[in-house]
Amino acid sequence: MWKKTLGSVFIIASAILYSSMYISAAIYGSAITSKSKEIFSTYLGFIGNGLIIPSIILFILGCVFILLSKNKDY
């Protein structure tokens, strides 16, 4: 049972990290008056890939723990 819970926590943490990247870019660009897709992608570039890599790792770990919880022998 604890593997399902831990897997769910990892997936939720992954979603929080992934969405915080977009929230950070939106907050960073909130002071400008003109909004466009190109400007937002520029602000996403300022944030970088620092949050994507841990997000992917946590998602994979969460999926592994959930799949391991289905196997009774392991």
- Provide mean pLDDT across the span 13-23: 94
Residues 6+ apart with CB under 8 A from 13: 58, 62
Dump pLDDT digits (tens) for 30-67: 888 888 888 888 888 888 888 899 999 999 999 999 99
> What is the pTM (predicted TM-score) of this model?
0.81
Whether 74 has a pLDDT exceeding 80, the answer reads no
Q: How many other CB atoms are found less than 10 A from the CB of residue 27?
A: 11
Round to whole Å and give the CA distance between 36 and 34: 7
